[in-house]
Amino acid sequence: MRLDEARARIAERAELNAFISISEETGSGTVIAVKDLVDVKGLPTTAGGIILPRTPAADDAPVIKRIRAAGCVVVGKANLHEFAYGVTSVNPHYGTVRNPHDPTRVAGGSSGGSAVAVATGMCDWAVGSDTGGSIRIPGSLCGVAGFKPAFGSIDVAGVVPLSKSLDTLGAMAPDIAKTAAAYAAMSGEEVSLDGLTRPRLAMPEGWVTDLDEPTTGAWADVARDLPAVEFLDRGPLFEVGLTILLFEAAAYHRRWAEEMPEKYGADVLRLIRRGLEVTGEQYRHALDERQRLEAAAADAMSDIDALVLPATAIVAPPERHGPEVREQLSRFTRPFNTTHQPVAVVPAPVRAGLPVGIQVVGHTNAETLRAAAWLEREWSTVRE
Residues marked active site are found at 35, 110, 134
Number of CB atoms found within 10 A of residue 272's CB: 23
In Å, what is the CA distance from 268 to each residue of 90, 246, 257, 262, 264? 11, 11, 10, 11, 6
C-alpha to C-alpha distance for 259 and 252, rounded to whole angstroms: 13
List of residues 6+ apart from 179 with CB closer than 8 A: 125, 145, 146, 147, 171, 172, 173, 344, 369
List of residues 6+ apart from 35 with CB closer than 8 A: 77, 78, 80, 84, 110, 111, 113, 114, 126, 127, 128, 129
Q: What is the distance, to the nearest Å, from the Cα of residue 136 to the centroid of all Cα atoms in its chain?
A: 4
Burial letters for 208-227: b for 16+ Cβ neighbours within 10 Å, e otherwise?
beebeebbebbbeebbeeee
In Å, what is the CA distance from 275 to each residue of 85, 129, 324? 12, 21, 18
In Å, what is the CA distance from 367 to each residue of 192, 200, 305, 356, 381? 10, 11, 7, 23, 23
C-alpha to C-alpha distance for 68 and 108, rounded to whole angstroms: 28
C-alpha to C-alpha distance for 215 and 334, rounded to whole angstroms: 18
Sign of CA dihedral 160, 341, 299, 296: positive
- For residue 251, the 8-state DSSP code is H
